[in-house]
Amino acid sequence: MFSTPFVLSFSLLLSLPILFLLAPHFIPSRPQSIPIPPPDDHDDLFLFNRATAGSNPSNPSTFSHLSSSSNPKLKIAFLFLTNSDLHFAPLWIRFFPNSSDLYNVYVHADPSINITRPGGPFLGRFIVSKRTYRGSPTLISATRRLIATAMIDDPANAYFALLSQYCIPLHSFSYVYNSLFSSTTFDSTSTPSELTHLGVRIRFKSFIEIVSKERHLWKRYNARGRFTMMPEVPFEKFRVGSQFFVLTRKHALVVVNDRTLWRKFKIPCQSSDDCYPEEHYFPTLLSMRDLSGCTQYTLTRVNWTGTANGHPYTYRSSEVSPMLIHQLRKSNYSESYLFARKFTPDCLRPLMAIAKSVIFRD
């Protein structure tokens, strides 16, 4: 007779083919990449053409109903990309100054979701939006839509900061504004040649992460099919980086003007598990067009330890503390990170409790 361990081992061996057959039915997988609907692409092209024509501040037709003034002061366009409620709107409302002389807010909200529209600086700032899907080029389209709308709306928008509903500020508005426009020490990658003899910055860079070496890069490059990205995007020019960035107006125009790379990146992925087009399109495009004009790092802090299914670590309300804020600020490339993600909605209360004493105290 066979021993019991032998019988068990033999039974498990026989059951393996059955497990492989049944696995797709009970193991969750990411949905297939969603293609861009042709009408959406057509609408976007019309919008982008307007943004290109409207890049001249002397053209009065560039202003839309979203603009509150034509103040010549340089502004930051805060671009919120969301498919749910803006959970931290109360914190952002406290972050923004009462006067909008130095900033504009724009929100792209998935129209298939019933989203509560907050007041204050968010009032009337929701743009014409289309459906978005994770791991699809629709996220690229939504981002380009935000940038183009902001460019058309106000020629004073000089920086374009992309954020999500899970992002929070790590400093006061004045700190963020001065870091981008005034400080000569904030960006550690700046060189003396980019400053005048008086210490005034004469060149502004985009804060976007651009990484050329990553262990999954080859799989992601071929996610649409082998050689599909050729010849426009050879593998040696394929880049990856954080979805969240702060772009100069010069690079915003590059993004809106692009047609060549978009024809490749809008192709749906065959392998959805390796499909994160929003993490590749912008770093690849700007790396190819103006790498020296980019810092190659992001200003949004993300914790990638303990990630699951492509999602970063999510902070819970019990983890929110002054110490956490100070830790999230620390950067190896700049004087500080300016934003952070990802936080659960119930973090709002403890964040509001330390907003004045910690977050907005620089």
3-class DSSP string for 155-167: CCEEEEEEEECCC
Give yes or no: residues 90 and 207 share one domain: yes
Give yes or no: residues 319 and 294 share one domain: no
Q: What is the per-residue pLDDT for 21?
A: 44
What is the mean predicted confidence (pLDDT) over 166-177? Answer: 98
237's CB contacts (< 8 A; 6+ apart) are 284, 287, 288
Q: Which ranges constitute the DSSP H helices of the chain?
A: 4-26, 38-53, 89-95, 138-153, 173-181, 217-221, 249-257, 260-265, 281-290, 322-329, 348-353
Give yes or no: residues 210 and 274 share one domain: yes
Q: Which region among 9-18, 97-106, 222-231, 287-296 has the lowest average model confidence (pLDDT)?
A: 9-18
Give yes or no: residues 186 and 217 share one domain: yes
Q: What is the DSSP string of 253-267?
A: HHHHH--HHHHHHTS
Q: How many domains does the structure of the chain reveal?
A: 2
11's CB contacts (< 8 A; 6+ apart) are none
Q: What is the per-residue pLDDT for 203?
A: 75
Domain-located, residue 3: no
126's CB contacts (< 8 A; 6+ apart) are 107, 108, 109, 117
Give yes or no: residues 178 and 315 share one domain: no
User: pLDDT (tens digit, 9 = 90+) per residue, 27-38?
Assistant: 344 455 678 889
0.75 surpassed by pTM: yes
Q: What is the per-residue pLDDT for 35?
A: 81
Give yes or no: residues 138 and 224 share one domain: yes
User: pLDDT (tens digit, 9 = 90+) per residue, 180-239?
Assistant: 999 989 998 887 666 655 555 667 999 999 999 988 999 999 999 999 999 999 999 999
Domain-located, residue 25: no
* Residue 72: pLDDT over 80: no
Instruction: Identify whether 342 is preceded by a cis peptide bond (ω within 30 of 0).
Output: yes
Q: Which residue has the higher pLDDT, 129 or 304?
A: 129
Give yes or no: residues 278 and 344 share one domain: no
Give yes or no: residues 118 and 235 share one domain: yes
Q: What is the per-residue pLDDT for 59?
A: 41
Instruction: Identify whether 17 is preceded by a cis peptide bond (ω within 30 of 0).
Output: no
Tokens of 52: 């290109």
Q: What is the per-residue pLDDT for 190?
A: 80
Domain-located, residue 9: no
Domain-located, residue 56: no
Domain-located, residue 22: no
Q: Determine how β-strand 168-169 pairs with β-strand 339-341.
A: antiparallel
Give yes or no: residues 83 and 232 share one domain: yes
Give yes or no: residues 174 and 98 share one domain: yes
Phi first, then psi: give them for residue 17, nearest 5 degrees. Answer: -60, -35
Q: Which residue has the higher pLDDT, 295 or 54?
A: 295
What is the mean predicted confidence (pLDDT) over 352-357? Answer: 98
Q: What is the per-residue pLDDT for 248?
A: 97
Give yes or no: residues 346 and 226 share one domain: no
- The answer to whether the CB of 88 falls within 8 A of the CB of 118 is no
CA distance 358 to 326: 9
Domain-located, residue 64: no
Share of the chain residues as helix, strand and coil, in percent rounded to the nearest 5: 40, 15, 45
**Sheet with 300-302, edge to edge strand ranges:** 168-169, 339-341, 300-302
Give yes or no: residues 307 and 284 share one domain: no
CA distance 111 to 122: 16
Domain-located, residue 216: yes
Q: CATH number of the domain that 198 lies in?
A: 3.90.550
What is the mean predicted confidence (pLDDT) over 317-334? Answer: 97
* Residue 362: pLDDT over 80: yes
Q: Name the residue range of residue 327's domain.
A: 300-332+334-361
- The answer to whether the CB of 177 falls within 8 A of the CB of 76 is yes
Domain-located, residue 272: yes
Which string of b and e fits 309-336 if b means at least 16 CB within 10 Å? eeebebbeeeebeeebbeebbebeebeb
